[in-house]
Amino acid sequence: MSSSSSHATNPSGTSAFAGLSPVVLAVFLGFLAVSVPLGALSLEVGGNLGFGTIVVGSVIGLQSLATLLTRHQAGTLCDHRGPRRAVLIGLPLAASSGVAYVLSSVLPVDTAGKLAFMIAGRLVMGLGESLFLTGLMSLGIARLGADRTGRVMSWTGIAIYAALGLGAPLGLAAQAAYGFLGVGLVACLTPLLALAIIVRLPPTPAAGGTRVPFHRVLGLIWRPGLVLALAMVPFAVMAAFLPLHYAARGWSDAGIALFGFGAAYVLVRLVAPGLPDRFGATRVAIGSLSFELAGQVLLWLAPTPSTAALGAVLTGLGFSLVFPAMGVLATRSVPPDQRGRAVGNFIAFADIALGVTGPAVGLATQWGGIATAFLVGATATLAALLLLPSMKLGKTS
């Protein structure tokens, strides 16, 4: 694909900020509906309804399963009907998950009935998130041009993690004030606000092209997807095991290390969102993964909490640009008419990593202690680094 054609869908006279800001805001609002119910669901299902931890974990995990299974179809819809169409379907579906939570609170049904509404809400949100996130990322690329894919990936990533960070406390506050009904109302409202933003944007043309089997797209993007999945392992390890590591060592203030990780992640995204586009995705990925590897080794061997906090900061610095760097490689490894499917399948690798890491690392820590979690993170990052030299861009035209 020629350089000129990569700009073909970029609105005339539209700056990067003007083109991307409504998309980023819509991602943030849409993902609030994903994150707001997370903490509240565990309290509602496990506390108020009295179900066990297996049921709690299954209900929460159903969304990720539904999302994973529909990523390719969401990308196909983006390519054939345009990314805006996928968003306009996905956001109302996401809002309907909040409706299911509201119904579980207000209808006179028994605990099994309430659980059924929550399960329905999780499944519908999984499909909705698959559609709106794949669509919004594809829409951002279409509005700015394929040569600024890294910038799109960076800023939408900030919106996702900001929503994940703010959503859980917001959901718990709504639950404390209004019960699970309040959680459902917030989860219903935020996607509708995102929808109000997107309906005002002009549609971008669909890439068209023939239907492509899942395995063919996967064959083109599996290497950057696998690098992303391996790089996600330290992130999942940090979230699940860093507080336990501090507690096992008798250290306090694990929150400082987690804040350092998050602050470093956001800082890099804010000051250098376009590095993969400017200096090359592979080069940026090598530097990023090197920082991430160093951070995980420091956490594994840390003799003091300050050393562990430094490891957390290095991990955040490194992890920050892996997603946009690999996203650039994934989207440029396929023809333009398969870009939506590439985005959907690429994100699915992150879904898999987040779903598998917790149980797998939990088993490892039973054998080697809590610090082993960071050894697993370091090993995964090293594997990602070793995989990079084997990657070659496929033809895009």
Q: What is the DSSP string of 319-384?
A: HTTHHHHHHHHHHHTS-GGGHHHHHHHHHHHHHHHHHHHHHHHHHHHHHH-TTHHHHHHHHHHHHH
Going by C-alpha positions, the residue among 348, 364, 341, 319 that lies closest to residue 226 is 348
Lowest mean pLDDT among 151-155, 161-165, 333-337, 345-349: 333-337
Distance from C-alpha of 389 to C-alpha of 151, rounded to nearest angstrom: 23
pLDDT at 7: 40
Q: What percent of the chain has pLDDT over 90?
A: 38
How far is CA 19 from its chain centroid?
Answer: 21
Q: Is the pLDDT of residue 9 over 50?
A: no
Torsions phi, psi of 136, nearest 5?
-70, -40
Going by C-alpha positions, the residue among 350, 346, 348, 332 that lies closest to residue 395 is 332
Which domains does the chain carry?
11-198 (1.20.1250.20), 214-390 (1.20.1250.20)
pLDDT at 207: 57
Q: Is the pLDDT of residue 187 over 90?
A: yes
How far is CA 40 from its chain centroid?
Answer: 20
pLDDT at 14: 55
Say which residue, 153 or 98, is predicted with more confidence. Answer: 98
Distance from C-alpha of 7 to C-alpha of 149, rounded to nearest angstrom: 11
Asked if 175 contacts 45 with a C-beta cutoff of 8 angstroms, the reply is: no
Tokens of 78: 């983006």
Q: Is the pLDDT of residue 394 over 80?
A: no
Q: Is the pLDDT of residue 25 over 90?
A: yes
pLDDT at 92: 97
Interior angle at CA 329, CA 321 and CA 225, nearest 5: 75
- On the 0-12 / 13-18 / 19+ scale of CB atoms within 10 A, 371 is middle
Q: Is the pLDDT of residue 396 over 80?
A: no
Where does the pLDDT of residue 101 fall: very low under 50, low under 70, confident under 90, or very high at 90 and above? Answer: very high
pLDDT digits (tens, 9 = 90+) for 243-272: 778 888 999 888 788 888 888 888 888 888
Asked if 298 contacts 245 with a C-beta cutoff of 8 angstroms, the reply is: no
Going by C-alpha positions, the residue among 175, 76, 69 that lies closest to residue 123 is 69
Where does the pLDDT of residue 213 fall: very low under 50, low under 70, confident under 90, or very high at 90 and above? Answer: low
Which are the contacts of 20, defined by CB distance < 8 A and separation ≥ 6? 140, 143, 144, 151, 152, 155
Tokens of 222: 């599996």
